[in-house]
Amino acid sequence: MELSSLQKARYQYVPKLPEMLRSGIADICVNEGEETKSAADCEKIKALFPNTYGKKEIVFQKGQNTSQSKKQVVGVILSGGQAPGGHNVICGLYDALKSTNPENVLYGFKNGPIGLIEDDYLIFDDDYINQYRNTGGFDIIGSGRTKLETKEQFEIAGKVCKKHGITAIVIIGGDDSNTNAAVLAEYFAANNTGVQVIGCPKTIDGDLKNEDIECSFGFDTATKTYSELIGNIGRDANSAKKYWHFVKVMGRSASHVALECALQTQPNICLISEEVAYKKMSLSQIADYIADSVEKRSANGMDFGVAIIPEGVVEFVPEFSVLIKEINELLAGSKADEFNKLSTWNEKYAFIEKGLTKESMDVFAILPMGIQQQLFLERDPHGNVQVSLIESEKLFSALVSDKLALRKEAGTYKGKFNPIHHFLGYEGRCAFPSNFDADYCYSLGYNAFMLIQYGYNGYLSKISNLSKPADKWIAGGMPITKMMNIERRHGEDKPVIKKALVELDSKPFKYFKERRDKWATETLYIYPGAIQYYGPSEVCDITTKTLKIEQE
Ligand code: FBP
């Protein structure tokens, strides 16, 4: 396989560990903190997790090692969407495991949790692992979105572990995967299997964070990659002075990615879905908000701009989510066939008009035809509209265009509006991890092994103090049940890790809010440039602005 120069150089990069982990297991001991309680619904969570609830938070520190000396056979799984640094979690885990005892073994279950159920695995060795050090992607073993949640799956998982003598499973995933890790940990404990389960916090979306987890890995690299591109687009806009760029960024429901990119690049507009929901903004109000910036900038001779649109925003527009619900009803069961048999769009439109309430029809009617048709084409396996596939960047530019046409008629707007659309998502999920993510991930993996070695079960590998240099980072573990509450999912009460949305009273959002009106009318773009892997620490080791502002 031919390698790029950067890939060769990155093989040599030595990730930075927190000072307390550097000497290896021989000089690490545990400091146990208080017993923990779940984030909410304590009694219910306790009843569901009788064996793993209420355990103590722990922090590692330098001292006499008192861990078990048994041979460890560990299985690792990558779960869900790719996030830069996943390979390094596995490298850190492998290095800690082998340096503790060369007889220890690391299994990699392939293509996500399904690999454990199907007993599809590889066994890591130095030659194999060395090809993946400090690289992006999840191709080291593959990932997948199958969930480990049923009793039958747990029973099979138990049998597979027994067959290989596996002592612990490490699940690298987001909120849902780590929720399932906690359920699996409880199952293993209740059945006295002796198998431990440790989670590692992954997702570019940045929505697995709370008072214990400062950020999920991959968020740093992905947002830096998108911000580089948005900065480049801003500079092009400011050079050509003739286009408005509408840039949708990934992030599923939460707007952490959009907010971080805005903090890094200072675009003219950045929508924050959580604010849209809080203010109950309609599509028309959002379009007016953007059109105001277009009009003001145009009056100052700037017929160009940059607007960031978070991936999930339409779901947060109250009238739009009602429309989606009605469309799902309209096409439920056999009605979908009836609809699909209609041959022309006019016939279909009449069917839709008959089936929707007047309020939803009013919303539907203002959508561009392309988006209207998209709502009826893309369905998920449950027959629901796939909101994430809606091209909201095109939706908003079309709505803004309509608003500007009216303003032209009214004589308040005289400019030219030429929109260009972008969707940034997959471009960032497998980038070479930034030094921050390379170090953070390696530390998470290394630390996961320490938790295993000390016998912990149902814990999330926790590295904190992240806005400080890596040697000052603090390594430890948090019982996953501490992050849980009960939520209604698919008509049932379920224990889940609370998904973190952007808080409107958080420091990063307030920082953005105080400055955005100026950004909307002036041209104050910042050009972050590409991620730097080599050079001065103040360029190469910087964290996200979100983390910096949060911890200032
Ligand atoms: P995870 O939540 O699994 O980390 O995935 C995040 C994400 O990248 C979202 O930002 C995006 O909406 C989704 O995955 C897309 O996933 P897929 O390519 O599987 O549709």
- Per-residue pLDDT of 81-113, as tens digits, reads 999 999 999 999 999 999 999 999 999 999 999
Taking the CA of residue 202 as reference, the ligand 1 atom at the shortest distance is 4
What pLDDT was estimated at residue 439? 98
Which atom of ligand 1 is the closest one to the Cα of 388?
Answer: 12
Query: By alpha-carbon position, which residue is closest to atom 16 of ligand 1?
Result: 81
- Check whether 329 has a pLDDT greater than 70: yes
147 — pLDDT class (breaks 50, 70, 90): confident
Cα of 428 from ligand 1 centre, angstroms: 11
Whether pLDDT at 188 is above 80: yes
In this model, does residue 390 exceed pLDDT 90? no
Pocket test of ligand 1: the residue of 205, 255, 441 to mutate, having most ligand atoms within 8 Å of its CB, is 205
- DSSP string of 135-196, one letter each residue: --SSTTT--B-----SHHHHHHHHHHHHHHT--EEEEEE-HHHHHHHHHHHHHHHHTT---E
Distance 528 CA to ligand 1 centre (A): 24
Work out the pLDDT band at 154, boundaries 50, 70, 90. Answer: very high
Q: Which residues contact 123 (CB under 8 A, 6 or more apart)?
A: 105, 106, 107, 108
Atom of ligand 1 nearest to the CA of 218: 4
Pick the catalytic residue from 95, 175, 205, 439: 205
pLDDT bin (cut points 50, 70, 90) of residue 383 is: low
Q: What are 493's strand-pairing partners?
A: 488
Pairing assessment for the beta strands 305-310 and 474-479 based on DSSP bridges: unpaired
Query: For position 387, what pLDDT does the model report?
Result: 75
Atom of ligand 1 nearest to the CA of 207: 2
CA pair distance 417, 401, nearest whole angstrom: 7
**For position 257, what pLDDT does the model report?**
98
Nearest atom, ligand 1, residue 311 CA: 12
Mean pLDDT estimate for the chain: 95
Is pLDDT above 70 for 452? yes
User: Which atom of ligand 1 is found nearest the CA of 79?
Assistant: 3
Confidence of residue 333 (pLDDT cuts 50, 70, 90): confident
Pairing assessment for the beta strands 56-62 and 73-78 based on DSSP bridges: unpaired
Residue 307 has pLDDT above 90, yes or no: yes
Question: How far from 151 is each of 58, 157, 379, CA to CA, in Å?
Answer: 30, 10, 29
pTM recorded for the entire structure: 0.96
User: Is the confidence at residue 378, as pLDDT, over 70?
Assistant: no
**Nearest protein CA to atom 15 of ligand 1, as residue:** 81
First-to-final CA distance of the chain: 45
CA nearest ligand 1 atom 11, residue: 252
Distance from residue 344's CA to the centre of ligand 1 (Å)? 34
> Does the pLDDT of residue 381 top 90, yes or no?
no
Q: Is the pLDDT of residue 25 over 90?
A: no
Q: How far is the CA of 81 from the centre of ligand 1 (A)?
A: 5
At residue 274, does pLDDT exceed 70?
Answer: yes
If you measure from the C-alpha of residue 430 to the centroid of ligand 1, how many angstroms do you get, rounded to a whole number? 12
Residue nearest to atom 8 of ligand 1 (CA): 81
pLDDT in tens, 399-420: 999 999 999 999 999 999 999 9
pLDDT-derived band at 26 (thresholds 50, 70, 90) equals confident
Res 164 pLDDT > 70: yes
**Pocket mutation for ligand 1, best pick of 79, 172, 204, 427 (most atoms within 8 Å of C-beta):** 204
User: Across the chain, which distance is largest between two alpha carbons, in Å?
Assistant: 80
Q: Which residue has its alpha carbon closest to ligand 1 atom 20?
A: 81
Q: Is the pLDDT of residue 542 over 80?
A: yes
Predicted confidence at residue 343, as pLDDT, reads 92
Among 89, 177, 223, 250, the mutation site with the greatest number of ligand 1 atoms within 8 A of its Cβ is 250
Tell whether the torsion through CA atoms of 125, 131, 135 and 140 is positive or negative: negative
Tell me the CA–centroid distance for residue 438 and ligand 1, in Å: 20
Distance CA 135, CA 244 (A): 35
pLDDT at 380 over 90: no
| Nearest residue by C-alpha to atom 12 in ligand 1 | 252
The DSSP result for 407-455, as a single string, is: HHHHTS------EEEEEESHHHHTSPPPHHHHHHHHHHHHHHHHHHHTT
Please state the rounded mean pLDDT for residues 50-60: 97
Residue of the CA atom closest to atom 19 of ligand 1: 81
pLDDT given at position 382:
65
Tokens of 478: 């948090």
For residue 437, indicate whether it is catalytic: no
At 191-211, the pLDDT tens digits run 999 999 999 999 999 999 999
Q: Which amino acid is at 267?
A: P
Average pLDDT (290-317) is: 97
Q: Whose CA is nearest to atom 5 of ligand 1?
A: 81
Q: Are 267 and 306 in contact (CB under 8 A)?
A: yes
CB atoms closer than 10 angstroms to residue 343: 8
CB distance 234 to 529 below 8 Å: no
pLDDT of 1 reads: 78
Ligand 1 site residues (CB inside 6 A) read 80-81, 83, 174, 203-205, 250-252, 311, 388, 429
| Burial (Cβ within 10 Å: 0-12, 13-18, ≥19) of residue 336 | middle
How far, in Å, CA of 505 to CA of 485, rounded? 22
Which residues fall within 8 angstroms of residue 227, CB to CB, at 6 or more apart? Answer: 260, 261, 264, 265, 528
- CA-CA distance, 397 to 247, in Å (whole number)? 10
> Which stretches does DSSP call E strand in 262-382?
269-270, 305-310
Distance 252 CA to ligand 1 centre (A): 7
Query: How far does the centroid of ligand 1 lie from the alpha carbon of residue 83, in Å?
Result: 9
Q: Is the pLDDT assigned to residue 331 strictly greater than 90? A: no
Q: Which of 80, 109, 53 is nearest to 457 (CA)?
A: 53
